[in-house]
Amino acid sequence: MSILKPLSAAVLAATLAACAAPQASKPEPLNNEDWYQVRSETQVILFDDLQVFKDYIASGQAPSMRTLEEKDPVGGQEVILALRAEDQGKALDKIAAYRFFKVAQVPAHPFYGEVRQDGNIYVFKRYGDMQDMIKLGEPIFRYTDIGGGPQGKTVTYGLGKEEGRPDATIAQFKKNHSL
């Protein structure tokens, strides 16, 4: 019994000290749920914000455009980050679109990705499938929705092997683009 009192006092002191210690600030959110790209022969524009992406698709403008000092490893195009105004001064390692580009960000589950390239719309629910399509030019497995996109455009959904119609991903695409 004599050992319990000093041990209890030590545990109580450690608990009180932990409560009095300054609390660490909340970590910044990862912003790893979605990623968007517009790819052309000369540029790859990366987005981590749906509204900035939609505004860019509609107008060709974004609140902030930041050209990187590096080329896209797949096609050698100039890489540009399209950012919200409040993100323009952030360090690159704090920008989700850049972390995804560098394959340095773990995607959330569920994930949503979209690539616009050569007049085509590609949509993904897995980051790895999106990366594979960028390297190969087409999704390995796909579901094509002819006329299912904005202005009746065809939308191609990347799939896993033996995966059926991606109803949840189609619904997310339609919600994102108010279709």
SS3 2: coil
The dihedral of CA 168, 122, 30, 128: what is its sign? positive
Residue 44 pairs in a beta bridge with 39, 79
Distance CA 87, CA 162 (A): 40
Nearby residues of 132 by Cβ (< 8 Å), 6 or more positions away: 139, 140, 158
Q: Per-residue pLDDT tens for 54-107?
A: 999 999 999 999 999 999 998 999 999 999 999 989 999 999 999 999 999 899
pLDDT confidence of 27, banded at 50, 70, 90? low
Average of per-residue pLDDT across 122-150: 94
Domain residue extents for the chain: 30-108, 109-179
Average of per-residue pLDDT across 163-171: 95
- The beta strands (E) that lie in 85-140 are given as 112-117, 120-124
